[in-house]
Amino acid sequence: MNPEKRREIFRRFREANPNPSTELKYRTPYELLVAVVLSAQATDKSVNQASAVLFEKFDTPEKMVKLGIAGLERYIRRIGLYRTKAKNVAALSKILLEEHGGEVPASREALERLPGVGRKTANVVLNTA
C-alpha cells in the first residue's frame, strides 16, 4: 500500500471516529494503562470486573506499589496470566514513580519501555487517555 492511500484510510478513520474509546472502565490515564496491560489475552468484561474492585482502593502508582505483587494477584486472579501481569503492573508503577513523577508518559517510546507495555498498549493509551 502506498503512503498516499494509507493516509487516506487513516483520514477516513479519524472522520468516522474522531474520539476513539475503549470498553475498559477507567477514570485516569494511570487506570487506563493498568487496565490495558491487564487486558492482554483477557476479555474487557473480566478486566472491568477485577479493576473496579482494585481501583476503589489502589488507583495510583503509589498505592499499587504499596499493595505489592502478592496483593495485586489477589485482585486479578480471575484474569489470565495474572502472575505475570501483577509483576508488570507493580514494576511499571514503580518506574512511573521513580522516572516520571507518578505520571503516565505521553510518548510511545517512554510507554514501551514500561514492563508489560508493547506497541498496542502504548497506542491505546496515547489514543484514548
Tell me: the pLDDT tens digits for 38-89?
Answer: 999 999 999 999 999 999 999 999 999 999 999 999 999 999 999 999 999 9
Task: Tell me the residue range of the domain where 98 lies.
Answer: 26-128
Q: With respect to residue 8, please indicate whether it lies within any of the assigned structural domains.
A: no
Q: For 82-117, how does the pLDDT look when each residue is reduced to its tens digit (9 = 90+)?
A: 999 999 999 999 999 999 999 999 999 999 999 999
Q: With respect to residue 7, please indicate whether it lies within any of the assigned structural domains.
A: no
Q: Give the count of domains, the chain.
A: 1
pTM of the model: 0.85
Pairs from 87-90 (Cβ < 8 Å, separation ≥ 24): 87/115, 88/37, 88/115, 88/116, 88/117, 89/34, 89/37, 89/38, 89/64, 89/116, 90/64, 90/65
